[in-house]
Copies of this chain bind each other. A is one copy, B any other.
Amino acid sequence: MHGLTIGKLAKKAGLTIDTVRFYERRGLINEPARTQSNYRMYPEEDVARLIFIKKAKDLGFSLSEIKELLFIQHDPDASKSDVKERTEAKIRDVRCRIKDLTRILKALEQLSKGCDGHGPASACPILEALSGPEEEHHHHNGGGS
């Protein structure tokens, strides 16, 4: 018998069976062949495909973005620039999120610095700042994952 059952596949890829089936429903992996008894039988290549998904996820790509990357990977007409553009878009997205978080961090640090941490909360400058008048604030660019 050649091929892997879903359990073997999941184990090789370091995922759960549920996750593999979830990716199938989402169209990230092809519906595999079935045995006479209706068990899914996967080709060895699907291990690599799942590892691809995991790695891309670790890089911050969403499942739908990963789906596109997988499609590109298997499209003979796709060009490197298709991949590179998506990578650069993700870089912009991540940079934007880092900027947003950095602004938040600065604001939190300012607030924390203003509070000595002693005495009743009723006189806490952090709470006072949050209770103060409204301000303008930045709005985040769409972006993926």
Q: Which residues of B contact A98 (CB under 8 A)?
A: 98, 101-102, 105
List which A99-122 residues lie within 8 A (CB) of chain B.
101-102, 104-105, 107-109, 111-112, 115-122
Q: A1: CB under 8 A from chain B? A: no
List which A105-145 residues lie within 8 A (CB) of chain B.
105, 107-109, 111-112, 115-124, 126-127, 129-134, 137
Q: A25: CB under 8 A from chain B? A: no
Task: Verify B87–A94 contact, CB threshold 8 A.
Answer: no
List which A63-107 residues lie within 8 A (CB) of chain B.
69, 72-73, 75-76, 78-85, 87-88, 90-91, 94-95, 97-98, 101-102, 104-105, 107
Across the interface, name the chain B residue whose C-beta is closest to A118: B80
Q: Which residues of B contact A109 (CB under 8 A)?
A: 91
Task: Verify A105–B91 contact, CB threshold 8 A.
Answer: yes
Task: Verify A80–B134 contact, CB threshold 8 A.
Answer: no
How far does the alpha carbon of A117 sit from the alpha carbon of B81 in the complex, in Å?
4
- Count residues of chain A with CB under 8 A from any CB of chain B: 59
Q: A26: CB under 8 A from chain B? A: no
Contact A117 to B80, CB < 8 A, known contacts A87-B112, A126-B87? yes
